[in-house]
């Protein structure tokens, strides 16, 4: 079932020339005053909890509220990490390896839980704190917080990919990949836009897409205990589907170079008929191409088995307590505020991050802001995380290299390559591609 995004006035942006003039006029004053402002700012007294995470729009407001609720017992201070996941992980790993006790709260990509827990860098959640962190969290996001049956993080937000399509080209969305590829073929024959925008570049986005295909066939790449590569006929079928798509009318010539931004641009420019991407694209479409937004709709991610819903790959952010924090109890308390229902609702409305707490999916204000909220929740009910293993970063690199370019995949050969290289990575053997 699909829903059409309701019509809304486009967001009015400042005129480019005026904005540029303002920036030029202000930049000298800003630069000259930064040092003075920093010198005048008073360092917080008492317990300071240092939070390390990527910049999230309006997150400072959440920190301010949680500091006010702490009533002087501690002060949360934000340290901004790079926007890209690799840069974030590099800075965190370096400081944790040095046992830096100035780190208290860590913003972790959902794929890092096992690695950081196995290294002894983050603390387990127990008792009342554990119950509070898990209460009401949807199954998909919740699964990303555990390693070997223990919880090491609390969900801050979540994410899943949806199918986006143009209603002026496709009145009803396809339910399966077979249907979607067939519609793309028909659109090409009719001389219409027909591309299926997909993240096919050699990076994490391709791994996410493959993980969704594999899980939707009922397969997995790594055993549940994280010790063994699992490569079987379901892996071959997922590889066959990926190659079939990559050699079909739905694949653009730029498929092997496309990341999220390129997939978004293909749809916004009118080049694509379908797009498989994260929910941020609907707001971007309404701002960047209001006319096309009138025909921009969404549906559940297409399945590979008729009658069985796709099992998508969740994204998002989790919070963990550093094993070297001097204030672990206060850090847990602060996390519970930073990721509580009020914080998640505020950030969903102002930063575009879907909440992990199920009760928020019935909130009227959120439902108005997120017309696709029911679809997101439904997909999260049976979402399947990427492989849980301390060696995930290596495995991601191996999988992305083996699948690239998608059009040249030889399914059985690549399946065997994945078996060999993933097992070597799990045993700390082999060389990364």
Q: What is the pLDDT of residues 76-92, one digit of tens each?
A: 999 999 988 888 999 99
Domain count, the chain: 2
Are 73 and 337 in contact, with CB atoms under 8 Å apart? Answer: no
Query: What is the predicted pLDDT for the residue at 357?
Result: 97
**Would 20 be classed as within a structural domain?**
no
φ and ψ at 259, to 5 degrees?
-110, -170
Over residues 249-258, the mean pLDDT reads 97
Residue 416 CA to residue 433 CA, distance in Å, equals: 15
**Would 18 be classed as within a structural domain?**
no
Over residues 189-218, the mean pLDDT reads 97
The confidence band for 22, taking pLDDT boundaries of 50, 70 and 90, is: very low
Q: Where are the alpha helices (DSSP H) in 72-138?
A: 85-97, 113-118, 127-134
Are 105 and 51 in contact, with CB atoms under 8 Å apart? Answer: yes
Say if residue 105 is in the same domain as residue 126: yes
**Would 336 be classed as within a structural domain?**
yes
**Would 23 be classed as within a structural domain?**
no
Query: What is the predicted pLDDT for the residue at 421?
Result: 96
Say if residue 337 is in the same domain as residue 256: no
Distance of CA 383 to the CA centre of its chain: 13
Which residues are CB-neighbours of 79 under 8 A, at least 6 positions away? 50, 51, 52, 53
- Give per-residue pLDDT as tens, 363-391: 999 999 889 999 999 999 899 999 999 99
Give the least confident one: 44-53, 237-246, 319-328. Answer: 44-53
- Give per-residue pLDDT as tens, 392-401: 999 999 999 9
Say if residue 182 is in the same domain as residue 229: yes
Query: What is the predicted pLDDT for the residue at 84?
Result: 83
**Would 194 be classed as within a structural domain?**
yes
- Tell me the percentage of the chain whose pLDDT exceeds 70: 89
Say if residue 255 is in the same domain as residue 295: yes
Say if residue 397 is in the same domain as residue 297: yes
Over residues 97-105, the mean pLDDT reads 96
Say if residue 129 is in the same domain as residue 274: no
Are 274 and 169 in contact, with CB atoms under 8 Å apart? Answer: no
Say if residue 284 is in the same domain as residue 166: yes
> In the predicted model, is pLDDT for residue 14 greater than 60?
no
Cα–Cα distance list, 417 to 232, 369, 402, 408, 410 (Å): 12, 45, 7, 14, 10
> In the predicted model, is pLDDT for residue 6 greater than 80?
no
Query: What is the predicted pLDDT for the residue at 345?
Result: 96
Angle CA 358–363–365, to nearest 5: 140
> In the predicted model, is pLDDT for residue 277 greater than 80?
yes
Sign of CA dihedral 89, 93, 94, 99: positive
> In the predicted model, is pLDDT for residue 205 greater than 60?
yes
Query: What is the predicted pLDDT for the residue at 228?
Result: 95
Query: What is the predicted pLDDT for the residue at 31?
Result: 36
Say if residue 409 is in the same domain as residue 267: yes
Say if residue 188 is in the same domain as residue 150: no
Query: What is the predicted pLDDT for the residue at 99?
Result: 97
Residue 99 CA to residue 120 CA, distance in Å, equals: 11
Say if residue 321 is in the same domain as residue 375: yes
**Would 309 be classed as within a structural domain?**
yes
Query: What is the predicted pLDDT for the residue at 431?
Result: 59
Query: What is the predicted pLDDT for the residue at 3?
Result: 38
The confidence band for 272, taking pLDDT boundaries of 50, 70 and 90, is: very high
Sign of CA dihedral 320, 394, 261, 7: negative
> In the predicted model, is pLDDT for residue 8 greater than 60?
no
Query: What is the predicted pLDDT for the residue at 386?
Result: 95
**pTM, whole model, 2 decimals?**
0.84
Query: What is the predicted pLDDT for the residue at 191?
Result: 98
The confidence band for 432, taking pLDDT boundaries of 50, 70 and 90, is: low
Query: What is the predicted pLDDT for the residue at 43?
Result: 62
- Domain holding 248, by residue range, is 162-313+391-426
Residue 134 CA to residue 114 CA, distance in Å, equals: 17
Distance of CA 291 to the CA centre of its chain: 28
> In the predicted model, is pLDDT for residue 37 greater than 90?
no
CATH number, position 331: 3.40.190.10
Say if residue 178 is in the same domain as residue 126: no
The confidence band for 38, taking pLDDT boundaries of 50, 70 and 90, is: very low
Query: What is the predicted pLDDT for the residue at 433?
Result: 65
- Tell me the percentage of the chain whose pLDDT exceeds 90: 82
- Helix or strand or coil: residue 105? strand
Are 160 and 383 in contact, with CB atoms under 8 Å apart? Answer: yes
**Would 335 be classed as within a structural domain?**
yes
Say if residue 422 is in the same domain as residue 274: yes
Residue 268 CA to residue 291 CA, distance in Å, equals: 10
Distance of CA 202 to the CA centre of its chain: 17
**Would 107 be classed as within a structural domain?**
yes
Give the least confident one: 25-34, 183-192, 369-378, 390-399. Answer: 25-34
- Helix or strand or coil: residue 176? strand
């Amino acid at each position: 079932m699909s829903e059409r995004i309701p019509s809304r006035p486009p967001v009015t942006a400042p005129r480019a020339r005026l904005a540029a003039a303002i920036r030029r006029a202000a930049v000298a004053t800003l630069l000259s005053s930064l040092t003075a402002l920093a010198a005048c700012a008073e360092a917080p007294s008492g317990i300071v909890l240092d939070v390390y995470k990527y910049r999230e729009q309006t997150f400072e407001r959440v920190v301010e509220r949680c500091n006010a609720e702490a009533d002087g017992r501690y002060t949360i201070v934000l340290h901004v990490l790079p926007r890209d996941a690799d840069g974030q992980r590099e800075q965190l790993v370096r400081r944790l390896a040095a046992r830096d006790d100035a780190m208290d709260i860590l913003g972790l990509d959902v794929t890092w839980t096992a690695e950081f827990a196995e290294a002894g860098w983050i603390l387990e959640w127990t008792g009342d704190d554990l119950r509070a962190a898990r209460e009401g969290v949807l199954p998909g996001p919740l699964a990303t917080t555990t390693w070997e049956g223990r919880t090491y993080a609390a969900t801050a937000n979540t994410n899943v990919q949806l199918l986006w399509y143009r209603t002026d080209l496709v009145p009803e969305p396809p339910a399966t990949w077979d249907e979607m590829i067939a519609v793309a073929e028909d659109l090409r024959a009719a001389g219409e836009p027909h591309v299926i925008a997909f993240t096919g570049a050699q990076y994490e986005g391709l791994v996410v897409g493959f993980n969704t295909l594999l899980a939707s066939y009922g397969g997995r790449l790594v055993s549940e205990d994280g010790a063994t590569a699992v490569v079987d006929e379901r892996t071959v079928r997922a590889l066959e589907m990926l190659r079939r798509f990559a050699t079909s009318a739905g694949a653009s010539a730029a498929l092997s170079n496309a990341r999220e931004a390129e997939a978004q641009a293909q749809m916004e420019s009118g080049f694509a008929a379908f797009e498989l991407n994260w929910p941020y694209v609907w707001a971007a479409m309404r701002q960047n191409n209001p006319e096309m937004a009138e025909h921009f709709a969404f549906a559940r991610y297409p399945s590979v088995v008729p009658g069985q819903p796709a099992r998508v790959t969740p994204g998002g952010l989790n919070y963990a307590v550093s094993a070297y924090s001097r204030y672990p109890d206060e850090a847990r308390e602060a996390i519970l505020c930073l990721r509580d229902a009020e914080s998640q609702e505020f950030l969903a409305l102002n930063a575009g991050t879907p909440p992990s707490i199920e009760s928020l999916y019935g909130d009227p204000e959120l439902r108005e802001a997120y017309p696709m909220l029911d679809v997101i929740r439904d997909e999260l009910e049976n979402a399947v995380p990427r492989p849980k293993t301390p060696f995930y970063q290596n495995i991601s690199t191996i999988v992305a290299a083996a699948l690239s370019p998608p059009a040249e995949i030889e399914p059985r050969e690549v399946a065997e390559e994945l078996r060999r290289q993933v097992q070597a990575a799990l045993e700390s053997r082999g060389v990364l591609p």
